Amino acid sequence: MSAHRFSTHRFVPQGPLTGRIRVPGDKSISHRALMFASLAIGETLIDGLLEGEDVHATARAMQQMGARIEKDEAGRWRVHGVGVGGLLEPAVPLEMGNSGTSTRLLMGLLASHGFQASFTGDASLSARPMARVIAPLSQMGASFTARGGDRLPILMEGAHPAVPITYRLPVASAQVKSAVLLAALNTPGITTVIEPVPTRDHTERMLSAFGVDVTIGEDNTEDGDGARTIAIHGPCDMTPCTLTVPGDPSSAAFFAVAALLVPGSDLVIENVGLNPTRDGIFRVLRAMGGSIEELECREVGGEPVADLRVRHSALKGVEVDSAIAPSMIDEFPVLFVAAALAEGRTVTSGLEELRVKESDRLATMAAALSAVGAGVEERADGLVIEGSAGRPLAGGGPVATRLDHRIAMSMAVAGLASTDGVAIDDAAPIATSFPGFLKLLARAAQ
């Protein structure tokens, strides 16, 4: 792996955010679109695919295993799949870059194929634990050799045939759920995942679009407490289709918070995916007093979509129910920025998962916000933030982003709502999920 070159950047107060913008396609859906299209026999057309580094890592991996993936002159992606069970053993390690989603989903996908595959990644990804995925996939028959037991690089020996299992998620995780369901596609018999807390359901929705019979129900056993069950009877056949990827709500969240915080802002963010398992950030911002209006509500590719009109608002601190965390787990860093300028105290809890993202997002955001003048208390499972009641943050920096794209973009928003601007130590990781972020932010704030 080559040494990372840091790219410092300073974000300063600008004018109000106005006009209409469109954020890139949803990253979670883009990953799945490429993987599932590679498993269908025939050609799938994909519009709106996110073209960040993380999604490119998925595309390269699927190409290494036999899928043909190309972009046509109209900007659509054409994927010629090889069928479930038709993937080829990769001749070289699958380089995942910074993409935890690519890694965990591909580990699941390949766990039921009878060949070896090795996974490598950058320094940030290589520090992230993979035990939550390794545990159920090992029960299905796959074996793993990993640095430190659960860190990249990882060598996986897939099982063929794999063993169907019933797996109850010990913690809410859409990636773990999806890894098991993807392994089930090439596993004879019924594999069931039980999730006590609902998580992102993009996998279930998209598998159905590709012709897979996904059975959704409730666990009504004595200890089931009505938990959600998702079952797949493998092996499955997948049929090609035409997909449109809605705008990424995680990307939209940065602009929504910026518009709420910068006086005079009145911004429309077009084509935002509002899957109920992903829209928690907008619900919480509304509860804080944020003016976020849904326009032109519609359905795109099986996913609910709307244009969001966001206007500057006086926010109030709230206690965020931990039950909403799975629907906005990636958006907490930018929520912390909104809380830093709200009136009163915002309390978050149940966020232990943020300790093992691209960085320890609780510690990193606590340090970053404290460095630019916010009042922050770090707890084991969340942050408590004393808001400024709308007064700009002092600013400063450069703050450490720990190679984490969401930390970098969140502190960029903090810079817009500061007196002296906020410098971050590295803007380069933003390209992993939002390549055009800097240009779009500058355009919206003209």
Residue 443 has pLDDT above 80, yes or no: yes
What does residue 124 show for φ and ψ, rounded to 5 degrees? -65, -50
Q: Is 100 annotated as a binding residue?
A: yes
Q: Is 357 annotated as a binding residue?
A: yes
342 Cβ neighbours under 8 A, 6+ residues apart: 288, 315, 316, 317, 385, 387, 388, 389, 390
CATH of segment(s) 9-24+246-444: 3.65.10.10
For helices 332-340 and 280-287, angle between their N-to-C axes, nearest 10 degrees: 10
What's the rounded Cα separation, in Å, for the pair 319 and 53? 35
Question: For residues 256-280, b (16+ Cβ closer than 10 Å) or e, as one string?
Answer: bbbbbbbeebebbbbbbbbbebbbb
Q: Is 20 annotated as a binding residue?
A: no
Q: What percent of the chain has pLDDT over 90?
A: 87
Q: Is 330 annotated as a binding residue?
A: yes
Q: pTM score, two decimals?
A: 0.82
Average pLDDT for residues 353-357, to the nearest whole number?
88
Write out pLDDT tens, residues 360-396: 999 999 999 999 999 999 999 999 999 999 999 999 9
Q: For the chain, how many residues are written?
A: 446
Q: Is 27 annotated as a binding residue?
A: yes
pLDDT at 361: 96
Mean pLDDT is lowest, of 103-107, 136-140, 152-156, 429-433, for 429-433
Mean pLDDT (the chain, rounded): 94
**Angle at 419 (CA atoms; ends 414, 425), nearest 5 degrees:** 50
Query: Is pLDDT larger for residue 2 or for residue 379?
Result: 379
Q: Is 361 annotated as a binding residue?
A: yes
Residue 77 has pLDDT above 80, yes or no: yes
Our CA dihedral for 122, 127, 131, 134, rounded to 10 degrees, sits at 20
Residue 74, class by beta-carbon neighbours within 10 Å (0-12 exposed, 13-18 middle, 19+ buried)? exposed
Nearest Cα residue to 180 out of 209, 345, 195, 149: 195
What pairs with residue 144 in β-bridges? 156
Asked if residue 444 lies in contact with residue 29, where contact means CB atoms within 8 angstroms, the answer is no
Residue 4 has pLDDT above 80, yes or no: no
With left for phi above 0 and alpha for psi between -120 and 50, is residue 20 left, alpha or beta? Answer: beta
Average pLDDT for residues 402-406, to the nearest whole number?
93
Nearest Cα residue to 27 out of 5, 57, 2: 57
pLDDT at 138: 98
pLDDT at 46: 96
Residue 1 has pLDDT above 60, yes or no: no
Q: Is 406 annotated as a binding residue?
A: yes
Write out pLDDT tens, residues 207-263: 999 999 999 998 876 666 779 999 999 999 999 999 999 999 999 999 999 999 999
Residue 2 has pLDDT above 60, yes or no: no
What's the rounded Cα separation, in Å, for the pair 436 and 23? 9
Confidence of residue 299 (pLDDT cuts 50, 70, 90): confident
pLDDT at 5: 65
Average pLDDT for residues 290-312, to the nearest whole number?
93
Please check whether the two domains, 9-24+246-444 and 27-234, share a CATH topology: yes
Domain boundaries, the chain: 9-24+246-444, 27-234
Q: How far is CA 347 from CA 114, 179, 294, 340, in A?
A: 48, 32, 27, 11
What's the rounded Cα separation, in Å, for the pair 413 and 334? 8
What's the rounded Cα separation, in Å, for the pair 341 and 388? 5
Provide the CATH topology of domain 27-234.
UDP-n-acetylglucosamine1-carboxyvinyl-transferase; Chain (3.65.10)
The residues assigned a catalytic role are 330
Asked if residue 288 lies in contact with residue 343, where contact means CB atoms within 8 angstroms, the answer is no
Instruction: Return the SS3 of 225.
Output: coil
Nearest Cα residue to 23 out of 404, 440, 444: 440
Residue 295 has pLDDT above 80, yes or no: yes
Write out pLDDT tens, residues 104-151: 999 999 999 999 999 999 998 999 999 999 999 999 999 999 999 999
Kindly write down the DSSP assignment for every residue of 110-126, as one continuous string.
HHTSSSEEEEE--HHHH
pLDDT at 223: 67
Kindly write down the DSSP assignment for every residue of 310-371, as one continuous string.
EE----B--B--GGGGGGSGGGHHHHHHHHHTSBSEEE----GGGGGSSS-HHHHHHHHHHH
Question: For residues 373-394, b (16+ Cβ closer than 10 Å) or e, as one string?
Answer: bbebeeeeebbbbbbbeeebbe
364 Cβ neighbours under 8 A, 6+ residues apart: 400, 401, 402, 404, 407
Average pLDDT for residues 427-440, to the nearest whole number?
89
What's the rounded Cα separation, in Å, for the pair 52 and 50? 6
Pairing mode of beta strands 68-71, 94-95: unpaired
pLDDT at 197: 85
